[in-house]
Amino acid sequence: HAERRGITLCLEQLNTRDAHPWKGHPGYQGDDIDYVASIARQVDSPNVKLSFDVYHVQVMNGDVIRRIGECKDVIGHIHVAGNPGRGEIDDRQELNYPAIVAAIAETGFEGFIGQEFVPTADDPFTSLAEARSRCLPTS
User: Annotated active-site positions, please?
Assistant: 12, 116
- Tell me the sheet residues that pair with 79: 53, 114
CA–CA separation, 10 and 35 (whole Å): 14
CA–CA separation, 31 and 24 (whole Å): 10
Q: Which helix (H) or strand (E) holds 41?
A: helix 33-43
- Per 3-state DSSP, the chain is made up of helix, strand and coil in percentages (nearest 5) of 35, 15, 50
CA–CA separation, 103 and 97 (whole Å): 10
